[in-house]
Amino acid sequence: MSDPLARALRAPAPQAAAAAARFADRAAAEQRTDLAYATTASPLGELLLVSGPRGLVIMHYLDGPLEPALEQIALRRSPRIVRSAAALDPWRRELDEYFAGRRRRFESPLDWRSMTPFQRAVLRATAAIPYGETSTYTGVALAAGSPRAQRAAGNALGANPLAIIVPCHRVLRAGGAFGGYTGGLHRKHFLLELESLSRP
Amino acid sequence: MPQRLPPFQVLLERHSEDVWRMLRAMVGVQAAEDCFQETFLAALRAYPRLRADSAPRAWLLTIAHNKAIDHLRRSRRERPGELDAPGEEHPVADAAVWRAVAELPPRQRAAVALRYIGDLSHREIAATIGCSEAASRRSLHDGLETLRRKL
């Protein structure tokens, strides 16, 4: 008797995966979750995007496995995070267009709240650098209202949670040297070249 | 503040099949989808208050159990006399099993399902159903007895 019972009750439930995906999409669309995430392929490798009710919270290069990255986000931001490609569609589409050379500005909303006031000022100044142009660490520090804080500005850029979209790759060292890039210099080079501005 | 809770997505992926199995046994395939959505919405809402050291599967099965009981109460009010979980959508070989499970009183059905699907201990089953351990042992025993007789 226990065999058919166990077999029936434990039988695979293939509907569960689709139901879970529907749940996650709906939780994101109805803002029942704090965060939604998706990954997307790009010429620079896999990208991880995370959004909240007010806009994009994180966009970074996913060079390692996904799970530890999500655990860090759960720890630092909120454990209420689900996967929803649909929720991240606006930014994924803009990134696709950017990499195809068909987009020069990102328009979908960004959430700046997790940043310190100084980092926000630096990154907003960075976001104002037009496509195909560059600035310097001194330049963005100046634009952020702290002309002598180049080093702090460099740190703020290094901790940019919205890579590519807030174009910290457009910030170079004075005199044209490349400076650093959290995702790796080859990526900075690629992005500047994409924007037809690569300098040796 | 919550500490070291895993991303909710991890719970969703790891336990959605057991939650579905539990609901399938409790309310049938038709109603399982709605109960499944309600279960995970409630879980997501309460998640930040979950203690990081508690067992997430038993927690999710408890919520699923509560949603199933709510559903059974509602449908009994709306459609009295109808069976809760008819087995039409299941393989013919198992149809008799599903019919017999559906004919169990909800508490016995829950005890049997939690035992076979969740592999829960008597104490966990009691906590999930919300009764004493003795009562949950009795429910499991009576449920299995009835099933043995019918099958």
pLDDT digits (tens, 9 = 90+) for A50-77: 999 999 999 999 999 999 999 999 999 9
| Region B8-150: CATH code | 1.20.140.160
Higher pLDDT, A151 or A61: A61
Give the rounded percent of residues in chain A with a pLDDT score beyond 70.
97
Token reading at A200: 């040796």
- For chain A, the first-to-last Cα distance in angstroms comes to 77
Domain assignments of chain A as residue spans, ordered by start:
16-99, 117-194
| Domains in chain B: boundaries | 8-150
Between positions 80 and 109 of B, the ones with CB within 8 A of A are: 90, 93-94, 96-98, 101
E strands present in chain A:
35-40, 47-52, 55-61, 81-83, 135-136, 171-172
Active site residue A125: no
Fold of A16-99: Double Stranded RNA Binding Domain (3.30.160)
pLDDT band at residue B54 using 50, 70 and 90 as cut-offs? confident
Q: Under CATH, what is the fold of the domain A117-194? A: Arc Repressor Mutant, subunit A (1.10.10)
pTM (two decimals): 0.91
Nearest chain B residue to A1 by CA distance is B148
Contact A80 B8 (CB under 8 A): yes
CB contacts of B114 in chain A (<8 Å) are none
- Is the model's pLDDT at B87 over the cut of 60? no
Choose the closest CB to B24 out of A13, A71, A80.
Answer: A13
pLDDT at B80: 58
> Which region, left, alpha or beta, applies to residue A132 given φ > 0 means left and ψ of -120 to 50 means alpha?
left
| Phi, psi torsion values for A196, nearest 5 degrees | 55, 45
* pLDDT attached to residue A180: 86
Of the residues A47, A95, A141, A168, only one is catalytic, namely A168
Binned at pLDDT 50, 70 and 90, residue A34 comes out as very high
Instruction: Kindly report, residue by residue over A86-120, the tens digit of the pLDDT.
Output: 999 999 999 999 999 999 999 999 999 999 999 99
Let me know: does A57 contact A111? Beta carbons within 8 Å.
yes
